[in-house]
Structure 1
Amino acid sequence: MPEKTTSPTELTAQYITQVTDDLDRNVKEQDRIRGEITSLQEQLPALQHDHTVLVNMQQALGITGPPAEPAIAPESAAVPSPRQPASAGPSGRGKARKTTAAKTTAAPASPVAKKPAARAATAGKTAQPTLVELIRRHLAEEGEPRSAAEIAASLGQAHPERGIKTKVVRVTLEGLVAKSRAERSKQGASVFYTAPDAPEPAADTEATEEDTVPDPSTA
């Protein structure tokens, strides 16, 4: 009985169908990946904004320790240079050893160069009053209950360069209330803050503790 053979026309039709199906799947997969990339790019700015707000709140609460740093964006990641082929001759080995020795010698110089800049930045920050000092001074001058939004608006007008936020002011006020440096009262659904009635006995101690509270508006 003769075997059934497939003509070239049928083979061509099968290849065309397979290639068409593969191409269609490829296009759909590209569309799916593009959609995921767009969604992730839209979520990233919101996460970065939340990170900034959380860092400011952490500093206002006086939590010690370095804040969590955001991950490096893929486009900003350093691309490693291609590896150089090892030289077979002794001269290539000598050059590689000299380059390694030069890098090892030059490495410790970088932290030393950064110290003066860090000291200058620290001195600039300590020269201006902290947000805690501004809030306590404002409460003492007003002498009447003030909401966090009112305090933030007044301090924002007096110090526009600091970018004072209402949320940060509210967190700082709650920290002062917890340390008995401010009093909180509630009128309906609104919360108001006032300076404490009794004078604080240890002024020097309070000033020392106050210096340890970072200023979230300058972060």
Structure 2
Amino acid sequence: MTETPVEATDLKAQYTARVAADLERNAKEQERLRGEIDALKEQLLALQQDHTVLVNMQQALGAASTPESASVAEDVAAPSVPQQKTATKAEASKQSRRKKATTPPRGSKTAKKSASKAEATTATKPTLVGLIRRHLTEQSEPRSAAEVAAALSQAHPDRRIQTTVVRTTLEGLVAKSNAQRAKQGSSVYYTAPDTQEPTTQSQDEAQPAQANS
């Protein structure tokens, strides 16, 4: 059976529409994955900053491993080779001397200054999640991801805030019930979680208490 020109045209139109839909779906999926990657990079950066603070605090508190523990660990690693044990002990002794030279004494001004500086750095660099939650709490009307990103970029020009990262973070807050999501037409808006319900519940719980008294 031969196809008529009309049938061939309809089939071509169907394939064209299907390819266009697949391309659009592919582009949206790429945008979503980029947003997740950027959010993960933001979380990794925050973890790295926390790690630096913890290391500085550990050094300030003098929690580094002692030479005895280092020697015991090396002895367990190679108990059957005497020469290797001797060399390992010598290396551990050198490492312990280097640690003593680089680690500030407990309670010293340098250690306290290092810990205070690390804590101040963390305090002045809030996470993106914290900034978004605070912004939603301060708003009286719903805000889109683009509006939130623009407001945070204006308030924190030193930070690189992208709309895709903000949208991914907002969706994560919604999943954890730390934000509310509402769709108006083709646009999505976000608000802070409703705090009226706990107040009503506390009033209901107070009524039996008054009745009992």
Common fold by TM > 0.5: no
For Structure 1 versus Structure 2, the TM-score category normalised by the shorter chain is 0.3 to 0.5
Higher normalized contact order (CA 8 Å, seq sep 6+, divided by chain length): 1
- TM-score (normalizing by structure 1): 0.41
Max radius of gyration: which structure?
1
